[in-house]
Amino acid sequence: MLDTILLLIIVVMGIAVGFNSIDLLPETVLAQVANVRGLQWVMAGFGAIVGIALGLLLQSLYHRLERSIRQLSPETLLSRAVGLVVGLLLANLMLAPIFLLPIPKDFSFIKPLIAVLTSILFAYSGTTLADSHGPALLRLINPNAVASSLLAEGMLKPARAKVLDTSCIIDGRIEALLNLGVLEGQIIVPQFVLQELQLIADAGNEQKRIRGRRGLDVLNRLQASLGDRIVIHSADYPELTTVDAKLVRLCQEIHGTLVTNDLNLNKVARFQKVDVFNVNELAQALRPIYLPGDTLELKILKEGKEPAQGVGYLEDGTMVVVEEGVDHIGDQLSVVVTSALQTSAGRMIFARLQMPTMA
């Protein structure tokens, strides 16, 4: 009902504007019009059409804004409101000296223009900072909250922002981890990482193009599922030439956690006291542990390095070396684990053929 009333009001306004718009025409043009009243009704009809289109557009924008606001948590709404108010207050404080300046009448439009632009800039900055520092603002408003007390006592640690690098985005497993809620905090994608993904997607090599486009698709799906939680960070460091160095610097400045699959970047970042979340290390840690005596179903795929050895692979890619398995290449067999070895390249399992049980 409210939508219908608002639409009717906008249509009536459009009709009124169209009906009276001919008063803006020069007298010489009106003198050439044979039927002024007819022209007024034609313009009124045109104003009604424009009013209907404008009303439907405003309705659509309003409902979209309403849905976005309903999806926000009360804490986010409150922190953004505080940020907006603080930003507008600062804008007004800065504008007060400007309005006292003597400006010629020909340039009098500068004052309201500066006022509007400054208010928009500070309002946007206030809401953006509120997204990053919302919990701190809420603690100032309500210092007696349970979360505030726990934070003050050091019993509760705020979640650090997670900075994604190119390798983990292209890998794609980060999407499942975020959707499962394994990683908490704000998700930051630096602008220079986005540019690197675009360069890979536009590369001449087909394999690189596929990898780059997959990374961009992953980011689009993350933005659709996470919403405001994922942020494109505009920070850049022109004095640094590599993306890896920029990632480390950004994590140092915001005290964030670097999410990567790159082993070398992992080592460099940890050497510089940056927290690192390595997706490959997580996958390694979640692999099932096989003890001597456990039985596996395995397909022998190829010969091993030593005579009579056969080699197969588990679903997670772990290599299994089977004694006396060379004669069973291509067969699906039951094998018994004899030992396991952790190497720099990954884990390796040694096994032997399971002897058939005697009846």
Number of CB atoms found within 10 A of residue 316's CB: 12
Helix (H, G, I), strand (E, B) or coil at 189: strand
The partner residues of 299 in beta bridges, in order of sequence, read 332
- Buried-exposed string 267-300: b where 16+ CB fall within 10 A, e elsewhere: ebbeeeebebbbbbeeeeeeeeebeeeeebebeb
SS3 content of the chain, % helix, strand, coil (to 5): 60, 15, 25
Domains and CATH numbers, the chain: 1-71 (no CATH), 74-157 (no CATH), 162-285 (3.40.50.1010), 290-353 (2.40.50.140)
Q: Is 183 helix (H, G, I), strand (E, B) or coil?
A: coil
Amino acid at 56: L
pLDDT of residue 72: 66
Q: What is the pLDDT of residue 153?
A: 47
Q: What is the pLDDT of residues 306-334, one digit of tens each?
A: 888 889 888 777 888 888 888 888 888 88
What pLDDT score does 356 carry? 64
Q: Please report the pLDDT score of residue 71 as a whole number.
A: 67
pLDDT at 357: 54
Are 162 and 259 in contact, with CB atoms under 8 Å apart? Answer: yes
Residues 157 and 137: their CA atoms lie apart, in Å, by 16
User: What pLDDT does residue 10 have?
Assistant: 82
Q: Do residues 231 and 189 make contact, with C-beta atoms less than 8 angstroms apart?
A: yes
CA dist 42 and 38 (Å) reads 6
pLDDT for 138? 58
In angstroms, what CA-CA distances link 110 with 94, 121, 123? 15, 16, 20
Phi and psi at 267, nearest 5°, equal -65, -45
CA atoms of 109 and 118, how far apart (whole Å): 14
Distance CA 182, CA 277 (A): 11
> Looking at 191-285, which runs of residues are DSSP E strands?
230-233, 257-260, 276-278
pLDDT at 136: 59
d(C-alpha 174, C-alpha 214), whole Å: 13
CB 242 within 8 A of CB 165: no
- Hey, what long-range contacts does 129-134 have (CB within 8 A, 24 or more apart)? 129/83, 130/79, 130/80, 130/82, 130/83, 130/84, 131/76, 131/79, 131/80, 131/83, 131/186, 131/228, 131/231, 132/186, 133/79, 134/75, 134/76, 134/79, 134/80, 134/83
User: Helix or strand or coil: residue 44?
Assistant: helix
DSSP state of 273: T
Nearest to 52 by CA among 44, 41, 64, 63: 44
HSE of 23, CA atoms in CB hemisphere, 13 A: 5
The answer to whether the CB of 255 falls within 8 A of the CB of 220 is no
Compute the Cα dihedral for 260, 265, 267, 268 and give only its sign.
Answer: negative
Q: Residues in the chain with pLDDT < 50?
A: 146, 150-153, 155-156, 359
Q: Which two tokens stand for residue 191?
A: 């602008």
What value does the CA radius of gyration of the chain take, rounded to a whole number of Å? 33
* Whole-number Å distance between alpha carbons of 78 and 138: 8
